[in-house]
Amino acid sequence: MIAYESQRVARWYLELSLILFCLQVTVGLWLAVNYAFTLPQGLVDVLSFATSRAIHTNTLVAWLLLGFMGGSYFILPLECKRELYSVKIAYAQLVIFAGTAVTAVVGFLFGWTQGKPLLEIPVPLDMLIVVAALMFVFNVAMTIFKAKERSLIQWMLLSGVTFLSVLYLFGIPFFSNLNADYYYWWWVIHLWVEGAWELITAAIIAFIILEVTGVERKVVEKWLYVETGLFLFTGIVGTGHHYYWIGAPDYWLWWGGIFSALEPVPIALMVLDTWMHVKERKNPIVNPLLWTYIIGLALFHFLGAGVFGFIHTLPQINYYTHGSQITVSHGHLAFFGAYALLNLVVFYFAFPKLKGIEKFDEKLGVWGFWTMVISMVFMGLIFGVAGVLQTYLERILDIGYSTAHMSMMFWFKAVLFFGVIFLAGVVTTAYHLFSLKKAEA
């Protein structure tokens, strides 16, 4: 049931993405074990927390990017009403990207790292990533340029992927000054998640909503303009909420505080417009699970990125919460709510079509969805409790680090418990997607 043959490349991207998702969560559980128990020195010497964390976060980025790329390749032919510019480039790019990711992970195990959190991939491998990104942007751009009709979704997607690739460059050089290092590190991390990635999310979701609900394109595009405009307006200067404590002028407290406090607004609009489009749908609901995911994405995006970001974005609060488990709570809820769920929406949109199934049997998938969502809410809350406790003990009562962190062991056992349930949800979902079957009439 795909309309264009070249959409098939997406399958490889999406399946690999799904496998890396399972790997990422498994390594995440191992990190929780590191927190919850005292590990023997011999083990820590060989496989440190740092190495495992590098794998956890890099597989996260890799599976999200693979999902974005696969998703783009899947929807572009539909949106451009033509085949992809080059299927060969798409495959070559996948081989380079996946090969680099695997090499990077193996390299981490042997201590080959750039040593920057989240951007640990060493410079030579960075260059390969850049090559893959250039190929991707070129392929997307050429497909769009050769299309007969131009649309807002096309160029929003193109701007998103271009912006994403350009920003990556700021994480590559060595800075001798640590605060400038982190100033530009946030150009990658923050401007990705609150800029480029939001553009991609907004474009992909706008397209999928258009497809499944059948609402008027003009209405969807209007929302798309307003939302992305507000995302960029609040998100760009909002980067300043990371500059409070790095050694930068005082005005950042104002610029960063005010703009980032407005960051939930576009996400709230997204909830609103998703809700309205679903209500005013012209098409029947074929696969309810896909709709559940679309609404789940909007709500969880707002909760994780919007609400949990907002609560510690003001400098008066952030002074105490910065660099604590509260950040971990926000990080997990936001990445899951905004981007993991986006990819899952893409999976549930694309997989049935790639397998030629119109209405799929969704029983297992529903289990997967609710297991993941509920256990992630619990994990986020427990990280949050651990963070409040840590902040209170360490920064308000002024109890030493070790004493304060000993209490973390209990909370991380709880995280581990819900983490295992979350992994069960992930595996169920992955299994469901891989073995998607037609619904019995």
Partner 1 sequence: MTGKTAKAIFWVGTLSSLIIFLWLTYDFHQQEPKYAKTDKISAQVVAGKKVWHKYNCNDCHTILGFGAYYAPDMTKAYFRLGENNIVSIVMNPEKVYKNSFRKMPNLGVTKEEAANLVQFLKWVGTIENRKWPPQDEKFVKAYKLRETSAHTLNKADIVMGACGGCHSLENLGRSIASDFNDIAKTTSFDRATLVKFTLNPQSVRPDSGMPNQNVSPATAELIADFILSLKIGKEVQK
Q: Looking at residues 84 to 113 of the shown chain, list those that interact with partner 1 (rule: CB under 8 A).
A: 111, 113
Between residue 343 and residue 372, which ones bind partner 1 under the rule CB under 8 A? none
Q: Does 237 bind partner 1 (CB under 8 A)?
A: yes
Q: Does 116 bind partner 1 (CB under 8 A)?
A: yes
Report whether 142 contacts 86 (CB < 8 A).
Answer: yes
Q: Which one of residues 27, 32, 53, 140 is an interface residue with partner 1 (CB under 8 A)?
A: 53
Answer left, alpha or beta for residue 35, where phi above 0 means left and psi between -120 and 50 means alpha.
alpha
Q: Does 230 bind partner 1 (CB under 8 A)?
A: yes
Q: Does 54 bind partner 1 (CB under 8 A)?
A: yes
Shortest distance, CB of residue 110 to partner 1, whole angstroms?
A: 12
Q: Does 247 bind partner 1 (CB under 8 A)?
A: yes
Q: Could you give the 3-state DSSP secondary structure of residue 191?
A: helix
Q: Does 235 bind partner 1 (CB under 8 A)?
A: yes
Q: Does 406 bind partner 1 (CB under 8 A)?
A: yes
Would you say 39 or 106 has its CB closer to partner 1? 39
Burial class (CB within 10 angstroms; exposed 0-12, middle 13-18, buried 19+) of 424: middle
Distance CA 347, CA 357 (A): 13
Shortest distance, CB of residue 429 to partner 1, whole angstroms?
A: 27
Query: Segment near partner 1 (CB under 8 A), from 33-41, 125-133, 292-300, 335-343?
Result: 33-41
Shortest distance, CB of residue 115 to partner 1, whole angstroms?
A: 3
Mark 171-201 as b/e (b = at least 16 C-beta within 10 Å).
bbeeeeeeeeebbbbbbbbbbbbbbbbbbbb
Kindly report the backbone phi and psi dihedral angles of residue 360, in degrees, each rounded to the nearest multiple of 5, phi listed first: -100, 160
Q: Does 225 bind partner 1 (CB under 8 A)?
A: yes
DSSP annotation string for 92-124:
HHHHHHHHHHHHHHHHHHTT-----TT--S-HH
Helices 288-301 and 197-213, interaxial angle, to 10°? 150
DSSP state of 250: T
DSSP state of 355: T
Shortest distance, CB of residue 67 to partner 1, whole angstroms?
A: 24
Shortest distance, CB of residue 52 to partner 1, whole angstroms?
A: 9
Helices (H), 239-337: 251-261, 264-279, 288-301, 308-310, 315-321, 325-334
Q: Does 182 bind partner 1 (CB under 8 A)?
A: yes
Distance CA 244, CA 250 (A): 8
Would you say 44 or 127 has its CB closer to partner 1? 44
Mark 336-352 as b/e (b = at least 16 C-beta within 10 Å).
bbbbbbbbbbbbbbbbb
Q: Which one of residues 155, 310, 319, 378 is an interface residue with partner 1 (CB under 8 A)?
A: 319
Shortest distance, CB of residue 363 to partner 1, whole angstroms?
A: 39
DSSP annotation string for 22-33:
HHHHHHHHHHHH
Shortest distance, CB of residue 234 to partner 1, whole angstroms?
A: 7
Q: Does 236 bind partner 1 (CB under 8 A)?
A: yes
Shortest distance, CB of residue 173 to partner 1, whole angstroms?
A: 12
Query: Segment near partner 1 (CB under 8 A), from 288-296, 332-340, 373-381, 400-408?
Result: 400-408
Shortest distance, CB of residue 236 to partner 1, whole angstroms?
A: 4
What is the H or E stretch that residue 146 is in? none
Q: Which one of residues 86, 103, 114, 165 is an interface residue with partner 1 (CB under 8 A)?
A: 114
Would you say 185 or 351 has its CB closer to partner 1? 185
Between residue 137 and residue 176, which ones bind partner 1 under the rule CB under 8 A? 174, 176
Between residue 117 and residue 136, which ones bind partner 1 under the rule CB under 8 A? 117, 120
Report whether 35 contacts 409 (CB < 8 A).
Answer: yes
